Amino acid sequence: DTEVTQTPKHLVMGMTNKKSLKCEQHMGHRAMYWYKQKAKKPPELMFVYSYEKLSINESVPSRFSPECPNSSLLNLHLHALQPEDSALYLCASSLSGQGRNEQFFGPGTRLTVL
């Protein structure tokens, strides 16, 4: 299995809703990432988990809350989002966080905040 899967593919939520994005990989990778991508822009790093511990938080607002239940799963909990948070949310994984190895990306979740 050489892919990263993400659910749901699309999500529409109101500003008062609570929702979660899910990501899964079974490649034995020990680093997992959340990125945010706006239209016509490159992916921007949000969080990095290394060996199931949060190692990088790129000053992301607290309305985004990551969670890594085990080495294969990564969640992003969403609460009280703003319309400007609408974007494609990408999950990625790599063998390790510090090494020079490729990151594999999932297909993303297209989030719309009304």
Partner 1 sequence: GESVGLHLPTLSVQEGDNSIINCAYSNSASDYFIWYKQESGKGPQFIIDIRSNMDKRQGQRVTVLLNKTVKHLSLQIAATQPGDSAVYFCAEKGNTPLVFGKGTRLSVIA
Summarize as ranges the residues that interact with partner 1 (CB under 8 A): 4, 33, 40-45, 48, 56, 90, 92, 97, 100, 102-108, 110
CA distance 101 to 86: 30
CB-nearer residue toward partner 1: 45 or 60 = 45
Least distance in angstroms from the C-beta of 39 to partner 1: 11
CB-nearer residue toward partner 1: 9 or 16 = 9
In sequence order, what are the beta bridge partners of 45? Answer: 35
Measured distance between the N- and C-terminal CA atoms of the chain, rounded to whole angstroms: 36
Among 68, 72, 70, smallest CA distance to 24 is for 72
CB-nearer residue toward partner 1: 50 or 72 = 50
